[in-house]
Structure 1
């Protein structure tokens, strides 16, 4: 009998190594088979289930119940908040699942964690020895309780965009090999594809159902729509509303039915239109408005905006195009641009006017100073003549001094008028309103020029139907108004003529009239007397001096009082200026008589009457 040889220690070790390798290979095959089983069952679920929430739930259930994983869950990124929202899980109880959701919704994706790495890299991440790595984490106890040792996270992607993750927890250490990774990755790709498909199918189904249910409603809307609407299949027009016939220049809708839509599209845009229609057919998503150019039947090219959408029409898949004529909009844009340019020019003109006003104001002030110096010198000369320090036996010096004085007054009046015009134009001219007896104001200033009228042998008459009428006015400006009107009357009234100044009480207003029987104003010149720098007689050899701005200022001063002024005249018979002032009062105004210095009043008259030679 042959004796059995006892195996050596080395042979025993080799045997044990082979046995362990066989066990590992067998375990790997079991895991791979389970993964294939999971992949197969989830693919069957993808084919069977059309509800996205049920698909999430079924995928997690299959991954755990097949026994390969302890826990599996899916999280989807909310496009509005960018938060990862757990949508389904298997392996956790209700309280644990709620805690998982709350953590992500309140704290967001853990910074630097494996989920953030997966989303940023768009690739899977495998973590082993989870117990050791989560010692300081709140969920460490659960890791111990569930005997979890490894974790794998895969991205869910649609067109290279990560829309979420699928997470697997296992009790095995470092069990994942490349073949298993590939299978799990394929599983997540299939789930991603299913999510995308279900979403698109849902959108497509909703659009189709809504179109079917509201076909008649849409038909009415189409007919009433101001935009052109064309339903077409393979670019063959099946339906057109009234606006489409007007847009394309066709008399009746029947004239468009059966025509090719591309025949109305400008050749430069046909390729883009064809491309857009193919995109619509492939994805089913309505196209955004895009600017295009169309051609009417008469050959006119028009600018339009066009959009399109899938549209079921008479049991066939078709498309509906909405086309808006934007030709007028283009014109309005051009008009707007032109308007902006005009506004720019207007602003430049205003700036020029401001500079011009500022220039006149500065020049006027610079002129007034030397004129006053000259006037002061003239007054000294008059004083020297009166005291006998200057001998003027024949009166020639006095005559020349008087001429200089009158012309200085004329210059002062002109400068003052220019300053006032600039103030009025700039809105800086202010009245010093006081409650005054307008009858006294007008009577006093009228009486103060009696010397001029006597010298000219003109009768000056003042008349009133009331002795007192209190109203708010600026006495100095009323004086100026009256002096200007009286100056004009004296200049244009011949010796022996009459000037009548009247004041009438009309309860809520006062009427002041300055009437003469002078030369009058031609009918065709009456409208220009209040215009600035305008004169009835513009000839160089005219008999009366003037700048043509006095009556313009008079009109402005009257209007600043809230009143109005008009002129009535008949050529050769005389002129009447009629002022109407509203009866208003101001508060905190003294009715006491103004203490006017006689010299100031005389100089004011001399300035206003500087054109009248005595």
Structure 2
């Protein structure tokens, strides 16, 4: 300030530059110091809160990962206990091999075995503890009482059998009773989950944080005993305010929290806490996750922020004061040459700004700056045009390269097509009496019979398995009577037997050739053993990947939903829109994964089907009612039509079905019908009784199924509108799932469609007498 006053004394009286310099300097100093103090105060509070929430979030992430991991193991052990290949009638070697595979599939299974009702271990992975008495072990007794998860404990029987580790062996027990065919418990399946799993979970969440922020994570059981954490605290019992808050505060129990507290070592820590409450069917063990950081280390960023704020305030005040003086001096320079500069610009001439100290030279400087800016813009525009021209050349070059690559691909496709067309499959010619009349070398190699041995023999007796021979003869009689059969002209999969009695799966194409008197069946066989194996491996791979993707996707979807609900505060409109798009896409991925898992379970026979004789009308009523809200959003009406007697209790059409699965079929068909119907139209659901069958039909008034898509309707991921920009949502798995469910019930599903008039999907199920309202069958309990 003294420097400014001395500067003012040297200026002429009432100099504008002096007054403006003084005003700029004072305003800059006052505003800079006030804003710096306010920002520093607010930022300090926010940083403290952010640090605390950060520790609470780490605790919540660790707790969630622990609970979800335990849920996965809990559910996995429950499913293992239901496996048919581990039943009491399975051979001992088979049961041990199955348990070995289970243990090898998950490294943290330190031990897995099955004990009888007397507590004697009957079979175990790698034979560990077979014959040992575990009747007094808590996991054995608790499993029979309905408690399937036990807290952390030290190894006892296994301590001397398993390899030594740096840390003592500790386990978490998961156990379920295993049942016989009648549903009675025959023993307990127990798993010792290595506590090293929890250590790895903690490391995966705290990786980088431990070294960068000197933070430590602890896992404490419901009684306050440290299960995992620093070695000095392992096994000790803690009585901390954070543990009490985690157990008593309902909001903290759901979201976690943080506080500053003094620990037994005399140091003060900032502690984030979260108490687990299980996940899904897993009830939880009451573990509390604590993430602690020394207060001095935790709030070090706050101290640095204050120091930076003080230094920045002083520097900004000095900088703004100096800038104010400079700006004031330039603004108050004489403005005499402003008109000349304006005339030059108006005349289209460059306004040259000459260095000088005449009056209002700041206006000339401004004009020169504007002129330079215009010149710079012109230059940049020319450079941009040149860049665009170069870009067009590069795009053209890339387009030509893509065209060449496409031509190469097409040529490769043509070569592959030629190879496929010239490939030799097994060929059999059979006359109308079912006798072999021709037999090529490929058939000899595939089925083991030479041509001389096969000619003149019945094809059914030669290559058809014994259990399918009556059906083969019936199909031949049907063709002779009607001149038609459903497999003629179709590519179907069948199982044949070789000369050695081995079964071989084939893809069979049957055609009718020759004149009326000399007609014969032309049968081409393609061995699909390799393809079956690849499909099985593919299905197992898809199931595994889908299963592993579900957990992170669920977390992503939940996080996006919380963002959309304002958990992180009000978002800008553009960000809110992007969050909505991401949330919708994650939900669609979750549905896709769920459908893929359903398909895999059905193919593997792991989907339980509880079939009960019951009327179908109530099922249809419930399905239509469940879809009315969805249909109303699309402007589509739903109607339920029933033939005479279909809704009456005495004469209602009945079938032995699993109510939930048939409801799933109807809701899938109704969902498709609504999506492909125009607003203002009606989707009809009909129930009809036919001889020996019950028919369910869902009819829409949409555009119909395109001709080129009808053969692929029931294939997986098949969608009529399959482009990335399609208007209709869906995964393309719904109809495939419907077909699998209906066929599991011994029924059929088909469709009738006309372009512009709509589509009707028809489900036919074997009828059952209404008087027999009892459970008639059970599905596979995998």
**TM bucket by the smaller chain?**
0.3 to 0.5
**How does the TM-score come out when normalised to structure 2?**
0.30
Query: Which entry has the higher C-alpha Rg, 1 or 2?
Result: 1
**How does the TM-score come out when normalised to structure 1?**
0.37
